Amino acid sequence: MVHNARIVKMNATEYHQAPRDWEGDSIGYWDGDTLVVETRYFARATSFGNSSENMELTEKFWLIDADTLGYEFTISDPTTWTDSWTVMFPMRRAVEPICEYACHEENYSMAAIMAG
């Protein structure tokens, strides 16, 4: 979160199994108009919920319309769950400005930060 950068290797064919990364090892590819990102080999400390080191994450991104991005993810881990499960939700284009997320220690300097 915040300061992590997840690298998605486009059209790669091999995962890096070790050392395990905080964000896992991601391979992306296009399936028609849908971007598919498959991630494996998460560090145990950052795996989802009670999942095991066998967890795999598959994400899909596509345009529903000019202002809506479709996002779907599937989590598979036969060590933890009897079946994979999927969540999908649309993300609407924001009209409001987007501000950077940052830690504001008790907001003492917030006025100066926002003035910059």
Question: Based on C-alpha coordinates, what's the Rg of the chain?
Answer: 18
pTM over 0.85: no
Assess contact for 37 and 8: CB atoms under 8 A: yes
- pLDDT < 70: residue spans in the chain: 1-3, 45-47, 101-110, 116
Assess contact for 71 and 59: CB atoms under 8 A: yes
pLDDT at 3: 66
pLDDT at 102: 66
- 26 Cβ contact list (under 8 Å, min separation 6): 6, 7, 8, 9, 37, 38, 39
